[in-house]
Amino acid sequence: RKNYFYPDSAKNYQVTQYDRPSTQNGWVEFEFSGEGGSNGTNGLTRVRITRAHLEEDVGKNNHFERHSGVDFNRAGVPLLEIVSEPDLKNAEMAYTYLRALTDILVRGGISDCDLEKGMVRCDVNVSVRPTGSPKLGAKIEIKNMNSFSGVRRALEYEIPRQIAAVRGGETLRQETRRWNDEAGITEPMRSKEDAHDYRYFPEPDLMPFAPTDAWLAEVRSRIPELPLQRKQRLVRDFGLPEGDAQVLTDNLPLGRFFETAAAGHTQPKAVANWVINNLQAQLSATQTTVADLRFRPEALRELVQLVDSGKISTKIAQEVFGEMFSSGQSPATIVEQKGLAQVSDTSAIEQLADTVIAANPGPVADFRSGKVVALNFLKGQVMKLSKGKANPTLAGEILERKLRG
């Protein structure tokens, strides 16, 4: 039992693992290229984890203009507290670490980490020291930060505040401060007790729990692919740019859809473009999810293959995709029913080219005088005349040949 008096703990003690944490001496590695980063393996940034232990939650203090209240609805609920070593160097690094840590917790099924529902809370200990000094200064804890961006803003204020105080000759003392988000400052709350002030002693109402090796092995076997591992695999196995891989890592259902669609396709980047730029936009516009889709990933692969093979143009593919999204029909069926197959017949495109050349003497003269960009306009007219069905590459070649001939 951790014994202390504070309004959010009505029974004046808190049950905590204390000296027998669930986990200790671990680390989290993440991508961070800013100041103080890249101290881990393969250019990653590592933050050491001191311990992760279970304890019971306390009440929530609510402060109003003339009074304060305590909400005890969450009191007694188990929570996992994760304590890191003093490896964080600045506000941006702390923000990135929190994002990486919560990504792991969500992917591991440990928590939904919904900040608005209070599933994640964060306190920060800040300590500064003169450059080259091995000894850390007084540890000052900051509370009342309701978002990761709030953590970043609090640190952007508190770190310079402490540095200015030390440079001004002030002796900083261990304390707890509250972040005032509206004012953008930290304010004193109380002096900070040392560990021995809590009068720890064993909880008499709970029996010790000793996990077996078999149980630990079974738990380890259920650990899923973690976010950073997934991103690295998407880059390695599919040749995706890091930005695309990050999108497909952050949105797991979208990423799984991509992997199925890209399986066996020679150009997975093309599939990723459709998933990220087209599918994601449609889902957002219709406020639906991947689970609501009326077509399977294999249908998207088929659509990309129709474009790759020249059977339909990219513009027509956009129309086909929209129909797939609304009806669930296969791309081949839509192309056949609507007569959308790309025209690659040379004689047919030549007739279209002749019509466009005759109707646009100005751009034709521009091209022949050396303004090669005029060819793009003429090619666009061929595509317009064919209702987007003409093979654009072939149309450009035929136009250029006729204009230069």
Residue 362 belongs to a domain: yes
157, pLDDT greater than 90: yes
The CA distance from 94 to 387, in Å, is 54
pLDDT, tens only, 88-137? 999 999 999 999 999 999 999 999 999 888 899 999 999 999 888 888 88
The mean pLDDT of 292-308, rounded to a whole number, is 96
Cβ(360)–Cβ(322) under 8 Å?
Answer: no
What pLDDT was estimated at residue 251? 94
Owning domain of residue 36: 2-202+212-220
**To the nearest whole percent, how much of the chain has pLDDT over 90?**
75
Cβ(257)–Cβ(276) under 8 Å?
Answer: no
The CA distance from 262 to 277, in Å, is 15
- Sign of the Cα pseudo-torsion (363, 364, 366, 370, in order): positive
Residue 207 belongs to a domain: no
219, pLDDT greater than 70: yes
- Same domain membership, residue 146 and residue 84: yes
pLDDT band of residue 33 (cuts 50, 70, 90) is confident
* The two structure tokens encoding residue 61: 């203090």
Of 338, 365, 387, which residue sits at a domain end?
338
41, pLDDT greater than 80: no
pLDDT band of residue 139 (cuts 50, 70, 90) is very high
Q: How many other CB atoms sit within 10 Å of the CB of residue 322?
A: 13
Residue 164 belongs to a domain: yes
Of 185, 220, 255, which residue sits at a domain end?
220
Number of domains in the chain: 3
pLDDT band of residue 32 (cuts 50, 70, 90) is very high
For 317, residues 6+ apart whose C-beta sits below 8 A from its C-beta are 303, 304, 306, 307
What CATH number corresponds to the domain at position 391? Answer: 1.10.10.410
Mean of per-residue pLDDT scores for the chain: 92
Give the phi and the psi of residue 186 in degrees, each rounded to 5.
-100, 145
pTM score of the predicted model: 0.78
